[in-house]
Amino acid sequence: MDILSRKQKYHLSKLDIRIVEDGTILFRIIYEDWFVEQEHLRSNLGGYIETEKNLSQSGRCMILDNAIVYQRARIKNNARILDNAIIYGCANISDNAIIKDQATVLGCTKVCGDAKIYGNAKIYGKCTISDTASIYENAAIGGYTQIKDNASIYGNVTICENIIIKNYIKIRNAVQLLGLKPKTKQMYA
């Protein structure tokens, strides 16, 4: 059992809070001295979370700068949330994933592997972003989209619904890909 699984790496400040648009109160993360030293952080101050359920006490995952994570979103393993990134809904960010800049991840999105989301990218719905996929600039990915392998999505790209992008595909500039919506039961009167 390593040191990260035995003791808490952070606590929440009740003095440094932030209130988001929906009225949710977020608390500043204060990393413990041993964790700051081990991870070579510049400061004990982390980003903001609603509850300790948002950021695992184990592993090397962290939320830094002014990044915020709330609702049922969860950060674990070695994932890093940086800058002014916003994560909420029931998003699950794990492994070595990095989300930074002004990126937003919401809904029940899963970001894992060595995936990177940055710039002003927005990921929503029930997407899965994995492997070494990169999504950046003003890209918007939604629905049940899967981006994996070494795929790169950037520029003013919008991708929605049931689309799978994989391998070494690069999609850029002003592209819009709209897949079929998942089939749902229809009710008849």
| Distance in angstroms (rounded) separating the CA atoms of residues 46 and 94 | 18
Instruction: Please compute the mean of the pLDDT values over residues 83-110 and round it to a whole number.
Output: 98
pLDDT at 185 exceeding the cut of 60: no
Kindly state the average pLDDT of the residues 58-68: 97
182 falls in which pLDDT band (50, 70, 90)?
A: low
Average pLDDT over residues 112-127: 98
**Cβ within 8 Å of residue 138, ≥6 positions away:** 119, 120, 121, 155, 156, 157
Q: Is the pLDDT of residue 24 over 60?
A: yes
Q: What is the dihedral of CA 72, 92, 69, 78, to 10 degrees?
A: 140
What 105-114 contacts at long range (C-beta under 8 Å, 24+ apart), as own/partner pairs, is 105/73, 107/142, 111/79, 113/148
Average pLDDT of the residues of the chain: 92
**Cβ–Cβ < 8 Å for 127, 146:** yes
Question: Has residue 188 got a pLDDT over 80?
Answer: no
pLDDT of residue 38: 93
The CATH number corresponding to 3-178 among 3.30.499.10, 3.40.30.10, 2.60.120.10, 2.160.10.10 equals: 2.160.10.10
* Cβ contact 103:91 at 8 Å: no
Do the beta carbons of residue 134 and residue 152 sit within 8 Å?
A: yes
Collect all residues with Cβ–Cβ distance below 8 Å to 50 and sequence separation of at least 6: 24, 25, 26, 27, 69, 70, 71
Amino acid occupying residue 4: L
Arithmetic mean of pLDDT, 70-78: 98
d(CA 165, CA 175): 14
Q: Structure pTM?
A: 0.91
* Mean pLDDT value of segment 88-108: 98
